[in-house]
Structure 1
Amino acid sequence: MPRTDASSRSSRWSIVPRALALGVAAGCRSTLAVAAPALAPRPGPTATPSRSGAARAAAVLAVAGEIAGDKRPEAPSRLAGPGGALRVTAGAVGGVALARRRVTGPGPAVAAALAGAAGAAAGAYGGAAWRGLAVGRRPDWPGAVAEDVVALALATWAVRR
């Protein structure tokens, strides 16, 4: 029978800030929403990989491809067309994936989906604003690299054990 004391309830809902952080990372680099949970070790006493070697390689390649593609001058705005909606969806999916790894029950999963979606919206708009400020008369790539570092750090924190 699951515990229902205050510490158990608190730990069930501690997924929300992690889902929010993963969502912000997804707003910056959408592939991180699914790749970070797939690459992270399973929670628990042993640090076993959460996916097969092929799935992990595909996740790494997807993130690397997005990071590299984002540096190209012809890359479209993350807010143009369906880009913003796809990032919000990715944030929600990442929140659910994160919740399913750590807690049970629909409540925390729904809260994690909402937090991931909200974080992705904030990350998409915040990242676009950052890039606009960082560019000025300089090349775009230093601002993009700084954004990559922040997104990777947030995703890493979100999935850490």
Structure 2
Amino acid sequence: MNGPVRAALVGAATGLRSQLGLAVVSATTSPYQAADSVAVLARPRVRAVAAALAAAELVADKWSGVPDRRTALGLGARTVNGATAAAALTARSEPTRSRPARHGPTPTDATHADAASHEPDRSSAALARAALVGAATAVGAAYLGASWRAAAARNGRPDWPAALAEDAAALTLAWTACARPRAQTADGYASAASASGSRSLSPPAADSSGRR
């Protein structure tokens, strides 16, 4: 799944539930999977706050007195959060970070260099495009979700079944956007394990007298 598609999915999730996109990006990000600019999302306190805000919104959304999401405040929050979540998702890096070689290049370093060549584009232009896609899809999903809820509540029917269906749709969109291919994740951690094993199994260097 390419970057623009992920940005659109997490933006759509944010349009349905304004806090959910960032919460799922934070929950699925680790310090070893993120560029330094995004690693803050992996901090336990940030994760806890993001999860609490998302959970509170899921509950508050079922109350009849909640303001319409299509107000300036509702759309503004979704636009900002959708852009932020999409840019953060695009900026995330591979599961492992290569360490500088102490004694020149090794096969492990070559493996890391090859993996780096396949990392997603994190240029300023790519982040800007992701932010625009996330913001646009957040606004579009906000209007679609509001229309869905209004249609479900016609003739005085309760809209909570539609609200729960919308919750499920938002969660599915967010987790799909943030999920990593299993093979990619396994390869990344296998490289880290291989690097660690090669260091631990390598024989000690001999000194000038030939002793080890």
Smaller-chain TM-score range?
0.7 to 0.9
Q: Which structure has the bigger radius of gyration?
A: 2
Kindly indicate whether residue 49 of structure 2 is the aligned counterpart of residue 30 of structure 1: no
Q: Deviations over 1:45-74 (max 9, x none)?
A: xxxxx6233222222111100000000010
- Cα displacement (A) at 1:148: 0.5
| Number of residue pairs matched by the alignment | 144
Equivalent-residue separation in structure 2 for 1:54 and 1:92 (angstroms): 22
Equivalent-residue separation in structure 2 for 1:127 and 1:143 (angstroms): 9
Q: How is 1:141-156 mapped onto 2 (pairs within 5 angstroms)?
A: 141-156=160-175
Q: Per chain length, whose mean CA-contact separation is higher, i.e. which structure has more relative contact order (CA < 8 Å, sep 6+)?
A: 1
Q: How is 1:1-150 mapped onto 2 (pairs within 5 angstroms)?
A: 14-42=2-30, 51-102=42-93, 103=120, 104-136=122-154, 137-150=156-169
Equivalent-residue separation in structure 2 for 1:135 and 1:41 (angstroms): 37
In structure 2, the partner of 1:6 is none
**Range that drifts further, 128-137 or 147-156:** 128-137
Structure-1-length-normalised TM-score:
0.83
Structure-2-length-normalised TM-score:
0.64
Q: Deviations over 1:5-63 (max 9, x none)?
A: xxxxxx8xx1111010100110011102321111114476xxxxx62332222221111
**Structure 1 residues not aligned, in runs of 5+:** 1-10, 45-49
Equivalent-residue separation in structure 1 for 2:84 and 2:46 (angstroms): 17
User: Partner amino acid for 1:34?
Assistant: L
- Cα displacement (A) at 1:158: 0.6
- SS of the equivalent of 1:79 reads coil
**Structure 2 residues not aligned, in runs of 5+:** 34-40, 94-119, 181-212
Which structure is higher in helix share?
1
RMSD: 1.7
- SS of the equivalent of 2:42 reads coil
User: Partner amino acid for 1:57?
Assistant: A
Equivalent-residue separation in structure 2 for 1:36 and 1:30 (angstroms): 12
- SS of the equivalent of 1:82 reads helix
Equivalent-residue separation in structure 2 for 1:74 and 1:100 (angstroms): 37
Equivalent-residue separation in structure 2 for 1:80 and 1:41 (angstroms): 31
Equivalent-residue separation in structure 2 for 1:87 and 1:153 (angstroms): 18
Sequence identity (%): 38
- SS of the equivalent of 2:63 reads coil
Contact map agreement 1:87 1:120 (CA 8 A) in 2: yes
Equivalent-residue separation in structure 2 for 1:88 and 1:56 (angstroms): 21
